[in-house]
Amino acid sequence: MTLQGDLVKNESLNKLNELEEMRERLEARKVVMANMSTRCKVATEDAKKQEEMLSTEVRSLLVAGTSLSVARKRLQEANRLLTEERGCVKLKNVQRKLRARQQYMISQVSLLYPVKILVGPAQEQELESYSSSSRLGNPSASKPVNQGSLTILGLNLTLLPFTKMSFFTDKKEVQRSATALGSVAHAVSLIASYLQVPLRYPLRLGGSRSYINDHASSIDPASSDLSLDTTLSANVKLAEFPLFLEGQDTTRAAYAVFLLNKDIEQLLNFIGVKSLGPRHVLANLKELLRSVQSSEYIDT
């Protein structure tokens, strides 16, 4: 009986051990199933989000495709109209109407700010040589051949040589020059807007207290002792120069007039006309007004 009891006891222990192992495997499988279920839920949620995003992108793509198709049809129609003789004629007529409108608007500017020649002996130059700047272009450009003096609104733009400007005490003459420069600046701003030309040197209008901006450099032309580091750091700033002399450094004012003339040159180049030179602000403005109001301008 003892031997049989031991056998039964051992078999029972073996069964218990097997049952415990099976329970452990079952628990491990439950843990694996729980992890898989969690991952499945996360994957399902990610799939839903991606599906929603994909659906939105598909809708956007469909809208973009529709817009592209419409644009392509319009482009094809425009190309067809342009390739036809009638289409080219229509385009030329529209361009002529645009130039005619520009011509009319600029003629109004010419009436607002008339640039006229007063017959008489030649007076001082409009702008003396600005030797400290490298942007002057050709300093030997000759003055337009005439024996008169140009005026705007009856005002002469006659500046004394800059070497003598510090002794310039006639306040009325200073004010007249500032008013003349402000008038030129306003006329140039209007013409640029009508021709749809962004000026290289933008203007800040203020009548006889107008300014012109130079985005290329903020270095004071009167300063010659700037270090390289200072020069490099100044290049990223905006410089503003006065178009008047009262209370201002004469060199900065001269540079402002030079930049104003460069804006006029830009407009002249835009319509295919050469500048008369860097010293002739009123002469260049008069040439710009004359060229736009000529019959050749509409036919260009």
**Residue that has been written with the tokens 């109004």 in this structure:** 108
Percent of the chain with pLDDT over 90: 34
Phi, psi of 144 (to 5 degrees): -55, 140
Exposure string for 169-205, b = 16+ CB within 10 A, e = fewer? eeeeebebbbbbbbbbbbbbbbbbebbeeebebbbee
Chain-centre distance of CA 187, in angstroms?
21
- The DSSP output letter for 143 is P
Chain-centre distance of CA 55, in angstroms?
39
Average pLDDT over residues 277-293: 89
Digit-coded pLDDT (tens) for 67-105: 999 999 999 888 877 776 666 777 788 888 999 999 999
Phi, psi of 252 (to 5 degrees): -65, -40
Digit-coded pLDDT (tens) for 255-278: 899 999 999 999 999 999 998 887
Q: Against a cut of 0.75, is the pTM above it?
A: no
pLDDT at 228 over 50: no
Average pLDDT over residues 101-119: 88
- Determine contact, residues 102/195, Cβ cutoff 8 Å: yes
pLDDT at 25 over 70: yes
Distance CA 262, CA 135 (A): 9
Mean per-residue pLDDT over the chain, rounded:
78
Give Cα separations from 200 to 9, 130, 236 (angstroms): 106, 20, 16
- Determine contact, residues 239/213, Cβ cutoff 8 Å: yes
Q: Identify the pLDDT of residue 287.
A: 92
pLDDT at 149 over 60: yes
Candidates 291, 114, 115, 285; CA nearest to 276 is 285
Helices (H), the chain: 2-83, 85-112, 171-195, 228-234, 250-270, 281-293, 295-299
Residue 277 makes CB contacts below 8 A (sequence gap 6+) with: 137, 138, 141, 142, 143, 283, 284
Strand-pair partners of 117: 150
* Helix or strand run (H / E) with residue 155: strand 155-156
Distance CA 178, CA 197 (A): 25
* Helix or strand run (H / E) with residue 152: strand 148-152
Angle made by CA atoms 156, 117, 269, in degrees to the nearest 5: 90
